[in-house]
Amino acid sequence: MKSNSGFGGWRSVLVLAFAASVGLSGCAAVKPAAAPTGEAASTMEKVGPDLNKLTLTDKAVERLGVTTAKVAKASGSALEIPYGALIYDGAGKTWVYTNPEPRTYIRAAVSVDRITDNKVQLRSGPPAGTDVVTVGAAELFGAEFGTKGH
C-alpha cells in the first residue's frame, strides 16, 4: 500500500489544481442552470470568523451530484474519511465540508495523520458519525470562495 503523510504528493497537487480550476466557475456554472428564475442556487451566511454556512437549492445539490459519507472510527482513537472528502486550501491547510442538515454545508478543519490508498486517517476533525461531502466538495469550495455576494 502506498502512503502519503500530510500535505504533498501528486494527489494533493491534483486536488489543489482541480479546486483552483473550479474557482469562479464552480459557483457560476451552477447558479444560472440550477436555480429557477429569480432564485439563487446557494446562499451563504457567516457562522464563525472564517467559516460560512452554504445552503444550496435542491436543484443545485442534484446538479452537483453531492454525495456524503460518515466520519468513521478507525483503529484506536483515529478518525477516518474517504480521500474524496479532503480539500486543500491555497495555504495547504486541510478541510472537509460537513453536511449537518439537508442542503447545508459547513467547512471544517481537519488534521491529517496519513493517507493510505483512498482512506485518510485524521489526528483531528469532525466527530465519528458526522456526514462529510465526498463528491462535490471542490465545487462547494469554489462557491464559498469564488464569488462575492452569495
Tell me the per-residue pLDDT of 107-127, one tens digit each, with 9 for 90 and over: 999 999 999 999 999 999 999
pLDDT at 26: 39
Q: Between vectors from CA 72 to CA 70 and to CA 74, what angle results, nearest 5°?
A: 165
Burial class (CB in 10 A: 0-12, 13-18, 19+), 30: buried
For residues 101 and 81, what is the distance between their CA atoms, to the nearest angstrom?
19
Give the residue from 27, 28, 38, 4 showing the smallest Cα distance to 105: 27
pTM: 0.72
- Structural domain that includes position 53: 3-146
Domain of residue 114, CATH code: 2.40.420.20
User: How many domains does the chain contain in total?
Assistant: 1
